[in-house]
Structure formats: C-alpha cells, structure tokens
Amino acid sequence: MKLIGQALKLGDNINTDFIISGRYKFAITDMKELAKHIMEDIDPGFAAKIKPGKSMIVAGNNFGMGSSREQAPLVIKEAGIVAVLAKSFARIFYRNAFNIGLALIETDTDKIGENDLLEIDLDKGIVRNTSKNIDLILKPFPKFMQELLKEGGIINYYRKHGELKV
C-alpha cells in the first residue's frame, strides 16, 4: 500500500484539543463542518492549507495526547488528510485512528519540512521524502492493520469480511 502527500508540519505534544477545540465538542456534530476548525487554536489557517487527499500531517512526539475523544481522528480523516506522521502517538488516539482507517506512521520526522512531498510505502516500510531525496524508515505495523487501512477502518472491514484474520 502506498500513500502520497504534501507535509503540513506541526510540533510536539499536539493534543486532541488542538486537533479540534473542546468548545466545538457538542456545539458541532457534523464532521464536515467540524473539519473546517481543525487545528485552528494553534494555526487559524490550517484548514485552508489542506489539499484533500494530498496532504499529510507531520508532527513530533506524542501526537494525539489528551482526551480519548473520537472526534480528533475523525476530523483529521474528514478534512482529507492522507496520513499522520509523528515520532510517537498517544495510545488511545493511535487505536481510535486505526479503527476508522486513518494511517498513522511512526518515523523520525526531523528531516521533513513544511510542504515536502512524501511517498510512503507501507509494504517496504519506507517514507521517501522526494523533496529532499531521502528515505526514512517507518515503524512497521502488521499486515492486518494494513488491511484495516485499505478497507477504511474496522467497521468496513467487518462488513466486508465478517471477521479479522490475524
């Protein structure tokens, strides 16, 4: 499985309240509308930078820390983000993201800059930064997790296959 997108760079400790502000938690329930407010507390113009299906979030350590709010990964996916690359992810965020089919890539993100073009090969375990002509090794994940991504999440997988074969 291959993913291609342009980097939108963020820092360390991006919590779920940065991803989608808590003030919208109950005020907006439509994901399309909620996605318009992604990351607005740290970058009010962030949503405008996203090219749906062609953008990737690149961050540092501990991406997705904070509450277990499922809106955070859902908003990222709804906004059209192809994948999130970070040095590490909060555990609950990691699980919620894979459950909905959002690709989370653990790798050293120091050599990725804003707007760098990235090509991720999940089968080979490589992130190719084509803008800087360098390869980064990604922390691989099992084949069944790749299947969840291909199907768009665990619910879609179960609808199609009936059970998860690990």
Domain coordinates of the chain in residue numbers? 2-141
CB 97 within 8 A of CB 84: yes
Confidence class of residue 21 from pLDDT cuts 50, 70 and 90? Answer: confident
| E-state strands within 75-122 | 81-86, 103-106, 117-121
Mean pLDDT, the chain, whole residue set: 91
Q: According to CATH, what is the number of the domain 2-141?
A: 3.20.19.10
CB 83 within 8 A of CB 104: yes
Element (H, E) at 46: helix 46-49
Residue range 69-82: average pLDDT? 92
pLDDT of residue 15: 94
pLDDT at 166 over 80: no
pLDDT at 68 over 80: no
Say which residue, 140 or 117, is predicted with more confidence: 117
pLDDT of residue 25: 72
pTM, full prediction: 0.90
